[in-house]
Every structure is written in C-alpha cells, then in structure tokens.
C-alpha cells in the first residue's frame, strides 16, 4: 500500500509541475521575451483563464503528504520550510499582481512596474521549485535535519558540508528552470500565431541545445554523488524507454522551427516533462530524498507507525478522482488558440 501512496504523491506533484509549469514559464516569457505591449498582452491572455486552476494539484500534494507520510513532510519543512513559505507567499503576490495589472491597464507607468513584478515573481517561483528539487536529488543528511545552510561552506564536489545552494543544486536547478521555461514558451506559442511565435520558436530551439548539455552534465554529476542511482535501470532495462522518450522529445524541440503548426512545441515540452519525471521517479524509488548518510527516508519508513492508517485514507482517492475530472474539464474548455 505504501508504494501506491508513493505513486499517487509522485503523480500529484508531477501533474502540478506539468500544469503550473507552463503558467510559470509563460510568466518568465512575459519578463524576458515579450518586448512590446502587444506581445505582453498575448502572454497574459495565454494564461488568463488557466493559472488559478493548476495550484489545486499542489494543495492536494501537501494535504496527502501530511496525511499519509508525516515523517516525509517533517523532513521537507525541517530543511526547506522557509523556502516553502516564501514560495506560497510569492504565489499569493503573483495572484495580486496579476489582478492589479488588469485594474491599472490604462496607466502605462504603473502597468510597467507591475508587469516587471509579475514576471519576477514567476521567475522566483520557478527558482524555488528548481532549487528544492535539486536538493532532493542531491540528497540530505537525514540524521541532522533542520540545519541546511543556504550556501555550502565549500563550493566543491568533494565537500560534505552541503548547503541549499551548492555546485550540484546550481547545475540541477538551472536544468529544471530551463525545462520549465521551454514548457511555458511552448504554451504561449500554442495559444498564439504570427511573428511573435516565430521569435519564441527560435528561443525554444536555442534553449533546447543548452538543456541537452545540462542534462548530460546532470547525469554525470548525479552518478558521481550516488553511484547506485541507476541500479533500477540496470536491473530492469525496459525502464530505459522513459529517458529515451524524453531525449527524443528534446531532440524534437531542437528542430521546432521546421515543423508546421503551433502545437508541436507544447506537445514536445509536455512529453519532455512527463518522461523526465518518470525517469527520475524510477531512479530514486523508494526514496523520497536521496540520502547522503546511512539513514534513508523511503515510502516504507516515512508513514505512520500503524500501517492501518494507510487504509483509512481511502477517501483521499475519491477526492483525487474529482480533482482529475475537474482539471480535465477546465483544460478541455480552454484549449485552442486565442483571438488576440
């Protein structure tokens, strides 16, 4: 039963990254790649009706992890509590800023400041997500929680004095950040057309080449830190289909400017995130966090002391089914291009 709940948690947070990732990536597009008022308006229109429908997956993840795996939740907040609270604060500020952009649409100076703040908040949200996941993949000293430094004492691959921001988290968070940005760019392209799309496709193509290099460096660095991280793949080689599909999607993004239509970038970026996420989950299972010491936090030791509690929470599956139906209906209703 623990493995089932582990899988459900992985699906919830993976779905959040997939669905809110294009929203946040589009917000970064607003900050860096939308140069004119018309382009900025196109970006805003592309996320106007969708951004608030995606956070429900994050809420479901937090609620389920607290209900079923309380030890995992404690480790998360011991090490990342301040950053998680900042994430939710920035999420609220992003909501406020977006609404203010609509209210002050006729005041160019105020709108300019608010637009910068909106893009900055989206960027910082992706930074928080990227750094937290980078630290989870790097690993934590689980015997000594609550003392994770912000910056490693020695910015070196050979130090045991890890920090929230070190050489591995810098590399990995950059890779995650660019992946989410590509996803957001693909969404904006999907919802628009014309010269703006051609410009964004060119950016996607360039970022995809950078992403390929970062993925290669990440895999080498991850193997350096955890030599047994790919044990599942050596034991069950058929799992290699998922990283192979992720690479095929990335190669497809490298040639995105040659494809007709406006939906290819978003389809490929969606596949890249899905198959990359599956690949990572296969590699770290049953761990919630990669260990840097002897202690491990897995699906089989992070729950309640009484195994019967796993069966009491079946009602959460009903909520999950309703959540899935809600998301499908909302996204089906909002599909297609916008009339800008």
Residues 112, 114: Cα–Cα separation, whole Å: 5
Rounded to an integer, the average pLDDT of 231-260 is 94
Model confidence at 121: pLDDT above 60: yes
Enumerate the β-bridge partners of residue 140.
291
In this prediction, residue 220 carries a pLDDT of: 95
Model confidence at 278: pLDDT above 70: yes
Rounded to an integer, the average pLDDT of 312-316 is 55
In this prediction, residue 68 carries a pLDDT of: 82
Model confidence at 338: pLDDT above 60: no
All residues at 6 or more sequence positions from 182 whose CB lies less than 8 Å from its CB, including other chains: 25, 204, 207, 208, 211, 253, 265, 269, 272
Model confidence at 304: pLDDT above 70: no
Rounded to an integer, the average pLDDT of 52-72 is 79
Please report which confidence band the pLDDT of residue 295 belongs to, taking 50, 70 and 90 as the band edges: confident
In this prediction, residue 133 carries a pLDDT of: 95
Rounded to an integer, the average pLDDT of 191-205 is 93
Please report which confidence band the pLDDT of residue 134 belongs to, taking 50, 70 and 90 as the band edges: very high
In this prediction, residue 55 carries a pLDDT of: 74
- Residue 164 CB: number of other CB atoms within 10 A? 19
Please report which confidence band the pLDDT of residue 53 belongs to, taking 50, 70 and 90 as the band edges: low
Span of 23-37, 165-179, 251-265, 318-332 with lowest mean pLDDT: 318-332
In this prediction, residue 70 carries a pLDDT of: 86
Rounded to an integer, the average pLDDT of 215-237 is 94
All residues at 6 or more sequence positions from 140 whose CB lies less than 8 Å from its CB, including other chains: 75, 79, 148, 162, 289, 290, 291, 292
Residues 74, 81: Cα–Cα separation, whole Å: 9
> Taking the model in full, what pTM does it have?
0.87
Residues 236, 49: Cα–Cα separation, whole Å: 42
In this prediction, residue 76 carries a pLDDT of: 87
Write the pLDDT tens digit of every residue in 36-46: 989 998 998 88
- Give whole-number Cα distances, 83 to 78, 79, 149, 169, in Å: 11, 9, 12, 14
Rounded to an integer, the average pLDDT of 40-58 is 75
Residues 322, 150: Cα–Cα separation, whole Å: 39
Please report which confidence band the pLDDT of residue 317 belongs to, taking 50, 70 and 90 as the band edges: low
Rounded to an integer, the average pLDDT of 300-323 is 62
Write the pLDDT tens digit of every residue in 98-115: 888 888 888 888 889 999
Instruction: State both tokens at 180.
Output: 């989410």
Residues 11, 65: Cα–Cα separation, whole Å: 12
- The average confidence (pLDDT) of the chain is 84
Model confidence at 143: pLDDT above 80: no
């Amino acid at each position: 039963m623990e493995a089932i709940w582990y899988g459900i948690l992985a699906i919830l947070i993976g779905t959040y990254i997939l669905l809110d990732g294009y929203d946040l990536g589009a917000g970064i597009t607003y900050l860096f790649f939308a140069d004119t008022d018309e382009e900025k308006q196109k970006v805003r229109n592309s996320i106007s009706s969708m951004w608030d429908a995606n956070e429900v997956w994050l809420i479901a993840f937090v609620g389920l992890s607290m209900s079923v795996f309380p030890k995992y939740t404690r480790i998360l907040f011991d090490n990342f509590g301040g950053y998680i609270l900042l994430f939710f604060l920035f999420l609220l500020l992003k909501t406020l800023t977006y609404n203010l952009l609509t209210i002050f649409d006729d005041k160019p100076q105020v709108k300019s400041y608010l637009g910068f703040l909106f893009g900055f908040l989206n960027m910082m949200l992706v930074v928080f997500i990227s750094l937290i996941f980078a630290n989870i993949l790097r690993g934590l000293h689980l015997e000594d929680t609550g003392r994770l430094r912000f910056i490693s004492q020695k910015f070196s691959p050979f130090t045991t004095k890890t920090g929230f921001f070190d050489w591995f988290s810098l590399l990995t968070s950059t890779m995650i950040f660019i992946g989410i940005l590509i996803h957001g760019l693909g969404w904006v392209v999907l919802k628009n057309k014309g010269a703006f799309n051609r410009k964004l496709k060119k950016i996607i193509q360039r970022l995809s080449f950078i992403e390929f290099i970062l993925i290669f460096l990440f895999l080498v660095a991850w193997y350096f830190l955890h030599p047994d991280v790919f044990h599942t793949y050596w034991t069950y080689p058929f799992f290699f289909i998922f990283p192979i599909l992720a690479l095929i999607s990335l190669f497809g993004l490298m040639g995105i400017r040659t494809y007709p239509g406006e939906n290819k970038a978003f389809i490929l970026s969606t596949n890249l995130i899905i198959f990359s996420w599956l690949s990572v989950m296969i590699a770290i299972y049953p761990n919630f966090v990669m260990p840097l010491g002897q202690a491990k936090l897995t699906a089989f030791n992070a729950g309640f002391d009484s195994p019967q509690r796993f069966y009491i929470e079946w009602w959460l599956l009903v909520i999950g089914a309703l959540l899935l139906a809600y998301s499908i209906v909302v996204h089906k209703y909002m599909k297609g291009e916008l009339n800008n």
